[in-house]
Structures are given as C-alpha cells and as structure tokens.
Structure 1
C-alpha cells in the first residue's frame, strides 16, 4: 500500500485542521493519505516509500491500513483521543496520488451523515448511488458510468462477491466501522485481481492505534414532522502494543422507515402520505481482529466479520396494486474470515499473502397481497440462497536499485452456490391442483453451481528519473465452470454444459511529478480490462422470464485518463481529470420472442462510449474556515441495436458537491453542504419507455458541539428544503430528515 505523507499545511486544503476542546487552535499531527493498491508505484522500499521525497513525513498512528502493512513512525505526534481523530477534519479530501482515485474517511462519513456505503460515495467525484427500483429496490453504485457488476467491492482487499448475480445492495454496508472508503476509477491495478473493468471500491476496516481505546456512538433519525425513523448505534474497543493489537467492534441500526416529502401527491399513487410503505430495514455487523507486528515492517492479522440484514421493498408508486410483486428479505447475511500477512525480505523485497473464507446467505419471500401474509398464487415463493467462497492470493515484489520495481500476483478463488425454493399455487405437474394457501405446493430440490477463478499478473514500474514513473501491467484471467444447474417446471432440474472462459488484461501509465516537493503531478494511463458474466446472466431463467445463454462472452472496457493535480498555494489544491472509456460486448437483456412472450436473454449486443471530466478544488483561507467541492460531467452513449429506444440509466450528466466548514468558537463546528445533480435516464418497467428524471438540489447541514475532550454532540438535517425527486421511475427519495447524535471516546 503506497502511502503519501503530508504535513497539515500541505493536506490539499481539503481538510479543516481543527482540534477539539482545549487544543482547538493547535495544528493536528501529519495526515496519512492512503490510496488503493493500484497506486503502489515508484517505491524504493517496496510497499513503504517512493523515490526521493524528503518532504514526506510518516504518521505514527494511522487509523487503519489495508493489506496488513505496517507503518514506520519517523516523527512524533500529539496523542489522539480516538483512531479517527487523526483524520483532522470533516471535509472530503482528494487522493493526491496517481490516477484520480479518491479516499473518504470515517470522519467525513460521520460529519456528512453518510451512514451507509451508498450514501458515502456520493461525496466523491465521478461516483454516484442509484436506487435500482423494481421489486428488489436495491442501492447500486456507479463509478464513471460502471455499475456493481463492473466495479468490484473489497473489504481489506478481500472480494465481496455473490456468485450467482453479484447484485450487492450497498445500503447493507454500514460506515461507522469503516476507516476509509478507497475508490479507484478507471485504472485498477492488475495486482488487485480480476474484474476491475471500470473501477474498484475497497473498504478499510478500523484498527486500534493506542494502548487502550474505546468509542461509543448513537444517532437517532427523525422525519420532517418529527416522526421517529430509526436509530444507529456503534461501539469499539481495542488495544495496540508494540508486538500486537486486538479489537472488537460492531454497529447496529433499525429503521422503521423514512418519511416522504410533504409535496408528495397521493392522488395517483398506491402510497399514502407520510412514512414510505415497506421502507423498514434492520442491519448489524460485528468485527473482531487480532494482529501481530514483530517488527516495524512485518504484520500478520486474522479478522472475522459478519453482517446481517432484514429488509422489505417499497412498491412502485405508479403501478396498480394488482401489478406489484410483494417481496421481503427475512435475512441477508455476509460473513468473512480472512488472514493477511506482509513480510519484508531485506530492504528491497516483500511478500504479501491473503487467505479467506466467505459465506453468503439470504432468503427472498414473495407474497400475494400488500399485507405480506398470504401465499397462494403462482407468483408466491420462498427462495433461499447459501453460498461460500474460498480464496487466496500471493503478491511479491522487489526493487532493482533506484531504477525498477517488479511485482507479481497469483489469485485463486472457489465460489460455490446452492439454492432451493418452495412454490405456492403450482405443483410439479405445473397446475394448481391440491394447492392450499400458505402451504407449499411444490419444493424445488437443491441445485448447485461451482466455479473456479484464477488470475496471474505482473506489474513493472520503471523510473527513468526520480520524478517520473512508467508503469506497465499485464494479467491473464480464466474461469473454470465445474457445475451449473437450474430448475424449471415441469422439466425439473436442468444440468447445463459447463463452459470455461479466459481473457488477457493490459495496462500502462506515466506519472510526472514536476516539482521537488512532490505536490504537483501530471499523469496519463490506459487500462484494458474484462469482466466475466455472472451465473445469473448465463443461466438464470428469472422465474420463467428468461432463457439461458451459456456462451455469453466477457465485457471489455478500455479506459483512458489524463489528470493534473496541483498544490497551487499552501492552502489550496486543484485537480482535474479527463476520462474516456470504450466499452465492447456490453451485456444486455434482449427480447427473444421465439422462446415466448416477454422472455429475454442476456446477450453481447452493445458497445458504449463514456466520456467526461472531474474537477476538485479545496481552499482553506483561515485556520477556522475552509470550503471546496467537486464537479463531475459525464456523457454515456450506448449502442444496443436489438433493444428498442435503449438508454443507459442511473447516471446524471452533471453532479456537484460543495461544502464549507466554519468554527465560530473552539467547541462548535458548522458544516453546511449542498448536492446537485441533473436528470438521468430511467425506464418504465416491462416497457421500452425511457425518460429523464432525478434532477435535484439538496441542502444539508451539520453542527458539532464538543462538550468535553471526550464527548461530542451533533445535530443536523438532510434535504433541508424537503425537495421531492425520483431517481428511478416510481420510487421517490426521502424528504427532509433530522438527526441527533452523541459520540464518546475513551
């Protein structure tokens, strides 16, 4: 993990250097800005420091670190009250390392009231969350126009992947226990494994930084009229010694739902005024970690994490009750056990290993009626998934003098999926004879799929001069399908013929740091990556609405990025990225009338061009005041000749985020911010009717009051002017809400 160490004065202006209580006017310790592994470039001691950067200083107590790497202190720092206090300020900061990546800290998600991952990423340029709508109504994330199938999610570098469809609901991932959200855009290093076609999101789990530390948080949410919406609680306890560390933490939230804007009209809707029907959720996660640090360079850690969720799905407010699907998820669970190690071999070489066991379980229940108690029709079922994955990867690297850095990776993962289903209203003869309400009429036998994924990668960084890095990367990915089964009435279990697939990936980049202090840089990169189709895309019959396509080919994207980042003054930083992506073999659902009315099939029928620019600027004119933000402009054009009137959905053409931070007195910090987005394409379900919606201008506000050195109170508001807007056809977004929070550090 490359680390960029900068002093508070050179932190890009994105951070308010505010202390708390009696230390309010004292500059905070240096800040460690970490980037995704894709940015490990130009190091003289591999994984630790880059060539010739005498102005860089190390942070001795970083809040967390991905990949198990150790931090080497070179300068003493003032003691922090909690791990995240070293983040220094509540405002977003640019990732000043290569390739336009972005890092969002825990302090920022707390201040901007971003309690779940989908809410947090809207802080970053080029990234936006999107309500998928439909009966699933999940939260998707787009990175420069690429969605969850094309942008892998990892936790401490361990892939979170659902082997059937990878339809992750990002609202299930709570942010209090995430030290950082690291976002790579366009260029994802081949050393990060397969699948990084359009970007990658890595969640860095928290790690203790002091001998004894603890933290408690509680946040209550209220609707625009004072209606109780829900609560989120978080606790952390940890210890860090010279030779080891240990921690236990967990977050829990329960929301009865959220309140619609007052301007929502019910005259044409199945939704009443006030609380959004079926918008309740309940989530918790627990994280336990132990680590051994025998010296300043080596680290070995074992982590166990589990998150569980329960949710329902609000209905499309435009569709009649008789046309709705009434779905609920009684459980949605992800569990991981993983081991990370880093071993330094002399001054020039290292080895990193990662081994993990992951488990995913969920259930989907479908009902007849909006009361969610009757199951008698053919559309009703109880569907259960049980998946697990075993994986490992080994990375090694060495430095050849000051001229060249060579790294390699071998990646392996086994995914196993099993599912079964209880059907109502239809028996094995595909009729309803002998079927009774709320009693399963037929039980689908357990069907299974199993798949191996491999990747071998090499990356080389050449340093023709101390201020220039030239990077080249290559990997070869392949998948071996051991088994794929399906089920349909009346034929029963279907055994598909396994087919393997493979593909190469290519990358190249040049980074020029054109001043001695390493605060200004120009970079250009090209990344040519593939994404293998999921089992769902190849084989799922989607409850009779689709037919399989075992020969579906991988999608491929060639991403270009030209960027510039400059510390134009000691208190101001500006960065600009211009990007273009050329996408081939896009996978889309295509109508196939030969198989039946309203039956579709996943096919490689599209190509696309995604072009845009990002601008970020942060300015701190005074010690008690800062402002900044980012602007994204993007245009996506997709050619899909077999889908009438097709338009790419989910991404606005323009997105803007602005903030200000002001501390009128040492104990109070005020942080207003605004979010703006232009309209985006959406589609009416089961039609070819595309139209634009979703433009919004939201005003948010947060106020922190530091009661004592250890206790902070917070009040704030989201969507302060109660704007009504929809990102997806038939699914309005939340109205004005308020929150009250307390945080205690020990």
Structure 2
C-alpha cells in the first residue's frame, strides 16, 4: 500500500527528531534585515514588543518569516513559507476535492487563526475556506505569525493566533527589483515560471510604489516512486497514471500599489491597493475510480481578492498616538463542476457553475498613551460589515434543463472594543493585561428554494463574547527574555456553519455560539553563547464549545457547540554561526491534540503532524557563493478517508474501512545554491524533494516529486 511504503518508520522518525532536538534550528537567516523596507503601518500589534520591530524581536510568542528566507528556501506561496517556523504547518486540506491548502498554528486552523494583509483581515463570510496557496510571497517583507496569544487590539477572531502578510515599502529616492524563475520536473520537463517586478520612490515627505507578482504553472509531477493501482484487485485502478499530475495547473498573480505621505518623522498616511487573481485545477483522489463522489470533477476559473485601504499614524505630543484604518475588500469566486474527466460538459444532475460575490467594508481606531509614568494604555475599536452573494447555474450545458438561480444575499455586522494596559514594573519587567468585547449579528440570510421556486429567509442569528488575556515579560539581559501568557479568545461561526442544509441533510442553527480557547504559554529566547541563539516554548490550549455536526435524526444533523479539546506541546529553535563560512540552524515542534466528540465515532483531528523538524546549513566557500542544504521532517498525521460505503466504491471502503487514517510522514531533502555577481545581482538554483520521495499530506493526494528550479534577482 502506498501509505505504508512511503511513510518512514516511527522509530526512524524519533531518531531523526532526537538529533534535530539537539541541533534544532532557528527561523533562519538575515534576521536583522533593515526595518526601513517593512511597511510598519501594516504590522499587527505584538504585546510587550511594540509595533516597530515586532515579529520575533520582542513581546509574547510568535515568529517571523523574512523575505530572505522565502528566497533562500524557495517558498513561493504562504502555505510553503510558514513551514519554516516551529509550531506552524501548511498542509493539504483533507477534502481533496477542493484542492486547498490549510495552515495550522499550534493545532488551530483557518477558522480560528485570522489571515491579514497589512493588518486588514481577509475573510470569506460564507465559509472562510481560504486557500493559502493563492497568496504569493514575492512582495512580502515579512510574515508575522502570532501563536496562541494574539493581541485583542487587532480585532476579533484570534482564538488560536494570527497571520499577517506585511508588504514592502521603498527606502531610496529610486529603487527597483526584478525576479524571474523557472521550474522543471524530475524528468526535466518545463513546468512553469514565476516573476516579480517592483519600482518605488521615497522622498522627504512621500513615497510611492508599485509591484506585480506572478506564478504560472502548467503542472507538477509525481515522484517516480508513484505507481497507479492495478486494474485487478480490491478496486479498479486509479484515474492518475503518474508523471504529470492531472489537474495540477495553477495561475496566480497579484499587483500591489502604495502611496504614502510622511509630513514629519512620526506621522504617516498611506493608501494601498492590492488585487490578486487565481485559477486552479483540482487533482482527483488517486484511490478512487470512479471518484467517491461522482460530482468530483471540479475547476476554479476564478479565485480573486481585492483590497483598498487607508492606514494612518498620528503622534499626539510626546506620549500619545492615534492609528486609523479604513478598508473595502472584495472576493469573487467561480467553481465549475463537470460531468467527467474530459471537463467538457456540465449536463448531469448536480453539475453547476457556483458563484460567490463577497464584499466587506470597515475600519478601526486605535489610541495609546504613556502619560502616566511606568504605564502604557491602548484602546481600539473595530467595525466591519460583510456581504455575501451566491447563485448557481445548474446543468448549464443541458439543452433543456439548464437553470440559473436568482442571487441570494447574506450579510453580517461585527464589532469589537478592546483595551490593553502594560505596567512597566521595572525597565526590564512588564505586566500586560487586555480585554475585549466582541459582537456579531446576521442582518440578512436568504436562501433559494429550488422546489418551490422562491427565495426565503432564515431566522437571524448572532452572538457576543468577552475575551481576556494577560502576560508577564522579563528581559533578564540585552538578548534574553522569558515570558508567560494566558489568552482566552473566541471565534464566531461562519454563515455555512449557521445555515447550510448540506443538500437537505442538515438543520440550520442560527443560535450557534462561538468557539473558545484558553491558551497558556511559557517561553524563552536568548543567547546561549556568543555565536549561538535560540528560542523555546511550552504551550497548552484548553478548547471548548468546538463546532461539530451532531446527528439529530436518522437522516439529518445540526451544527452545535459540543466538542472539548486539549492541545499541548513544545517547540524550540536554534541558530549557530560556527565560523565566518558556516552556519547551522533549524527548529523542532511536538504537539498533541485530543478532542472529545459525541457524534462521530472514532473522531480524530486531522492535518497536524505530532512531530515536525526543519534543519539547514549555509556554507560560503567563497564570499559570493552560498550553498544551503536543508531537511524537512514530519511524523504522520490523521487524515479523513472520504469514500462512500455503497455502490462502486464499496470495494475501496473495504480496503480502507476506517473513517480516519495516518498519513503524511516524510523526510524531504532540499538544496539551494546562490551566487552573487554583484551586490545587486544574483542567481540561484536548487532542488526540492531531492530524493524524489513519494508522500501524501492527505489521503489519496500524493505531493510533488523532485523539482528543479533556476532563478535570478536584480535590485537597484
């Protein structure tokens, strides 16, 4: 079986992890890059660390991924980049039909960890099924990741942390950058290309910048170790024959425009416009022929996000400030379901074009003061309106039964008021306390009755929540810090969780309440020796009222707050400059998730490996040349087995009788070779999955085999 052949043994994994724990690496190179090129107005707040220089530089927990890391380790998309830091993993969504990636922060997924771009949340009110592969990293100065403790000042929803993509800001009177790269598979075939271009100017009292980032991939290829299942056996073979992965094409691009006014050294006012557009296929589960759902042939011609925002910072005297944020976001999505693998007709029952057309408008005001000695007080108010519209064009290619649904509208309003106080007990010791009150209400909830041919409206829903958090931070020397934090946060349900009838098998629950987690962390960072630095953290999360579908009759379920959970573990990172020519680093994470579930026998939380490690080394035999091999190692993780029990799929269910299965263990060897011709021009090449390992992150969804790349970068 492919699962057993390609998962490393548990004993071998534990041996590898023991070595990694001893040499466990840091969050990589060039941590001290200039802060001037980071758009600091777009950073989220790190309690105890301020905004300027937040990231890994101070405060409570969290990690930062820098631009140089994404370049060195060839991380072109957000889901790839987050794997560089401990406690976080990007993975394939267990529902392979959607071809989406998810990100887990210490066990919390996309519903509990908000995603922001320059501090403005990207939220899909229907179901918030963000696909993190659609977010490119070319124009990102840093990726802020708050783990467990995300400040209440940054708005509602940070139950398990927060992720923020902070863009670049120009630093010179004129500057430009051009990147270009190509990709090849393990047979030498050209897969696709990526590019990034930026031009900007910073003057005494203003700055302007524009950039475009593009990734265009025709396919990726499976490992040579993959082989399709034989025509004879417990099931009738696979629709995937190996080589080029069917349905693996993607097209993504993003433009980022920025203009700012800086009348003095402290004040800043900026207008930002970001538009990204994506299109993707959806590779089929390799175990199913026919697919477990006959309606499995899906494509996404459109996956588009747009963001217009105004951000400001105004200093009031020497001790106070006011920050404002106004934004307007849109999301447009088209999902097309086809009859068969030819993707040429949409005539069968249940085939459709499904349209989502969403928008959001809102803003926030944050104020802070240090008028009282030894004390810093901050308050914030957030307000947001989300609008969701959906409709289907059912059986669009059928000559007589095609039907276009009318537009159905849903809307919700969310607001939050928060305060945080930092008491500076001594110059080296801070106590932090924060509290917020969050509330949301459903303003509109339309649905189409296809049998009756009319639009009706569900009962309105809504809920509120009180959140609190506290932390103690001791900076025992110039480089060392210990902190302890407790954060009690919630997240509100999506429209899908409130109202989805799941094709007639579920009862809406407009009174569904929020999920809640209390996160505890004890953390340390510091200098172990003059050339060695590291971090470590122990964490525990008490999770309550998790949302789960509960069987309420033989044929129907309802989404309710029933589950309880305990997530716990530890993480560590390490970085050592052994000589002028040689550096090593990496990180290690151990996490357990236990969830009690009363409606699904044998339920297992999916997507998160118990153990994860990353190790790298950089060798500079001569000054312009840097050779950086690295290893990514994870244990297995639970995955759904998505297959029916009746009809043509019954033999597959016989071969995979359980609802959940362990998969996803791998050891990936990668290498990057970088050569600087001048200070401004460099080229790089490398190999990902050097050993061409065949592995799966979710059941039936094998990942890319060996991949080669070449790229160049010029900055002026």
TM over 0.5: yes
Cα distance change of structure 1 residues 513 and 313 upon mapping to structure 2, 3 Å threshold? same
1:711 — aligned with what? 681
2:323 — aligned with what? 352
Three-state SS of the structure 2 residue aligned to 1:537 is helix
1:338 to 295, 299, 309: 309
Cα distance change of structure 1 residues 611 and 17 upon mapping to structure 2, 3 Å threshold? closer
Residues in 1 aligned to 2:102 and 2:403: alpha-carbon distance in whole angstroms: 34
Three-state SS of the structure 2 residue aligned to 1:734 is coil
2:10 — aligned with what? none
Residues in 1 aligned to 2:371 and 2:181: alpha-carbon distance in whole angstroms: 52
2:163 to 201, 222, 247: 201
Residues in 2 aligned to 1:265 and 1:124: alpha-carbon distance in whole angstroms: 33
State the 1:744 CA deviation: 1.3
2:415 — aligned with what? 454
State the 1:444 CA deviation: 1.3
State the 1:602 CA deviation: 2.0
1:418 to 377, 389, 392: 389
Cα distance change of structure 1 residues 657 and 15 upon mapping to structure 2, 3 Å threshold? closer
2:501 — aligned with what? 541
Residues in 2 aligned to 1:660 and 1:155: alpha-carbon distance in whole angstroms: 31
Contact kept, 8 Å, 2:27 with 2:65, in 1: the verdict is no
1:3 — aligned with what? none
1:304 — aligned with what? 273
1:667 — aligned with what? 624
Q: How many residues align?
A: 666
State the 1:631 CA deviation: 0.3
Cα distance change of structure 1 residues 356 and 407 upon mapping to structure 2, 3 Å threshold? same
Residues in 2 aligned to 1:208 and 1:630: alpha-carbon distance in whole angstroms: 32
1:578 — aligned with what? 538
After the TM superposition, which residues 209-224 of structure 1 pair with which residues of structure 2 at under 5 Å, given as runs? 209-224=171-186
2:193 — aligned with what? 231
2:589 — aligned with what? 632
Is 1:373 equivalent to 2:334 in the alignment? no
2:11 — aligned with what? none
Cα distance change of structure 1 residues 582 and 99 upon mapping to structure 2, 3 Å threshold? same
Cα distance change of structure 1 residues 686 and 487 upon mapping to structure 2, 3 Å threshold? farther
State the 1:642 CA deviation: 1.1
Is 1:399 equivalent to 2:359 in the alignment? no
Is 1:316 equivalent to 2:285 in the alignment? yes
State the 1:591 CA deviation: 3.8
Is 1:292 equivalent to 2:266 in the alignment? no
Residues in 2 aligned to 1:139 and 1:601: alpha-carbon distance in whole angstroms: 26
Please give the per-residue CA displacement for 1:339-394, whole angstroms capped at 9, x wherever unaligned: 00000001100000000000110111111111111111112011111111001000
Contact kept, 8 Å, 1:221 with 1:737, in 2: the verdict is yes
2:651 — aligned with what? none
Cα distance change of structure 1 residues 443 and 17 upon mapping to structure 2, 3 Å threshold? closer
Is 1:699 equivalent to 2:656 in the alignment? no
Residues in 2 aligned to 1:705 and 1:174: alpha-carbon distance in whole angstroms: 24
State the 1:42 CA deviation: 6.9
Residues in 2 aligned to 1:680 and 1:369: alpha-carbon distance in whole angstroms: 31
1:41 — aligned with what? 48
Is 1:520 equivalent to 2:480 in the alignment? yes
Cα distance change of structure 1 residues 314 and 439 upon mapping to structure 2, 3 Å threshold? farther
Residues in 1 aligned to 2:391 and 2:362: alpha-carbon distance in whole angstroms: 25
State the 1:489 CA deviation: 2.6
Please give the per-residue CA displacement for 1:115-162, whole angstroms capped at 9, x wherever unaligned: 000000000100001111331020000000000000000011000001
State the 1:98 CA deviation: 2.4
Three-state SS of the structure 2 residue aligned to 1:108 is helix
1:141 to 77, 85, 103: 103
Q: Which runs of 4+ in 1 moved over 3 A?
A: 12-18, 27-38, 542-547, 590-594
Residues in 2 aligned to 1:538 and 1:111: alpha-carbon distance in whole angstroms: 43
1:656 to 603, 607, 613: 613
1:676 to 616, 629, 633: 633
Contact kept, 8 Å, 1:42 with 1:405, in 2: the verdict is no
Three-state SS of the structure 2 residue aligned to 1:171 is helix
Cα distance change of structure 1 residues 36 and 197 upon mapping to structure 2, 3 Å threshold? farther
After the TM superposition, which residues 271-282 of structure 1 pair with which residues of structure 2 at under 5 Å, given as runs? 271-282=240-251
Please give the per-residue CA displacement for 1:25-62, whole angstroms capped at 9, x wherever unaligned: xx98799998963424277xxx66xxxxxxxxxxxxxx
TM-score, with length taken from structure 1 = 0.86
Cα distance change of structure 1 residues 16 and 148 upon mapping to structure 2, 3 Å threshold? closer
Residues in 2 aligned to 1:224 and 1:153: alpha-carbon distance in whole angstroms: 34
Is 1:186 equivalent to 2:155 in the alignment? no
Contact kept, 8 Å, 2:604 with 2:638, in 1: the verdict is yes
Residues in 1 aligned to 2:624 and 2:164: alpha-carbon distance in whole angstroms: 33
State the 1:100 CA deviation: 2.1
State the 1:548 CA deviation: 1.7
2:473 to 511, 536, 539: 511
Residues in 2 aligned to 1:40 and 1:503: alpha-carbon distance in whole angstroms: 21
1:556 — aligned with what? 516
Residues in 1 aligned to 2:27 and 2:328: alpha-carbon distance in whole angstroms: 38
Please give the per-residue CA displacement for 1:159-216, whole angstroms capped at 9, x wherever unaligned: 0001111100000000011111000000000001000000100000111111111111
Contact kept, 8 Å, 1:552 with 1:602, in 2: the verdict is yes
Residues in 1 aligned to 2:313 and 2:521: alpha-carbon distance in whole angstroms: 31
Please give the per-residue CA displacement for 1:558-596, whole angstroms capped at 9, x wherever unaligned: 0000011111222111211000000001112334444x3
Ranges in structure 1 where 5+ consecutive residues have no aligned partner: 1-11, 19-26, 49-64, 67-93, 426-435
Instruction: After superposing the two structures, state which structure 1 stretch, 489-498 or 467-476, moved more.
Output: 489-498
2:691 to 713, 721, 741: 721
Contact kept, 8 Å, 2:27 with 2:85, in 1: the verdict is no
Three-state SS of the structure 1 residue aligned to 2:266 is coil
Residues in 2 aligned to 1:445 and 1:561: alpha-carbon distance in whole angstroms: 49
2:459 — aligned with what? 497
Contact kept, 8 Å, 1:467 with 1:514, in 2: the verdict is yes
After the TM superposition, which residues 433-472 of structure 1 pair with which residues of structure 2 at under 5 Å, given as runs? 437=398, 441-472=402-433
1:737 — aligned with what? 707
Residues in 2 aligned to 1:106 and 1:42: alpha-carbon distance in whole angstroms: 21
Cα distance change of structure 1 residues 631 and 256 upon mapping to structure 2, 3 Å threshold? same
2:652 — aligned with what? none
Residues in 2 aligned to 1:350 and 1:30: alpha-carbon distance in whole angstroms: 20
Contact kept, 8 Å, 1:682 with 1:691, in 2: the verdict is yes
1:118 — aligned with what? 79
Contact kept, 8 Å, 1:293 with 1:299, in 2: the verdict is yes
Three-state SS of the structure 2 residue aligned to 1:589 is strand
State the 1:442 CA deviation: 1.8
State the 1:108 CA deviation: 0.6
1:479 — aligned with what? 440
1:74 — aligned with what? none
Residues in 1 aligned to 2:459 and 2:115: alpha-carbon distance in whole angstroms: 29
Residues in 1 aligned to 2:26 and 2:606: alpha-carbon distance in whole angstroms: 34
Please give the per-residue CA displacement for 1:528-562, whole angstroms capped at 9, x wherever unaligned: 00000000111122344533221211000000000
Residues in 2 aligned to 1:382 and 1:17: alpha-carbon distance in whole angstroms: 46
2:601 to 640, 644, 655: 644
Please give the per-residue CA displacement for 1:282-318, whole angstroms capped at 9, x wherever unaligned: 0110011000111111100000110000111110111
Residues in 1 aligned to 2:709 and 2:684: alpha-carbon distance in whole angstroms: 8
Is 1:175 equivalent to 2:137 in the alignment? yes
After the TM superposition, which residues 577-616 of structure 1 pair with which residues of structure 2 at under 5 Å, given as runs? 577-594=537-554, 596=555, 599-616=556-573
Cα distance change of structure 1 residues 208 and 440 upon mapping to structure 2, 3 Å threshold? farther
Contact kept, 8 Å, 2:509 with 2:559, in 1: the verdict is yes
Three-state SS of the structure 2 residue aligned to 1:142 is strand
Residues in 2 aligned to 1:242 and 1:548: alpha-carbon distance in whole angstroms: 57
Is 1:244 equivalent to 2:206 in the alignment? yes
TM-score, with length taken from structure 2 = 0.90
Is 1:263 equivalent to 2:225 in the alignment? yes
Residues in 1 aligned to 2:246 and 2:26: alpha-carbon distance in whole angstroms: 43
Residues in 2 aligned to 1:392 and 1:583: alpha-carbon distance in whole angstroms: 30
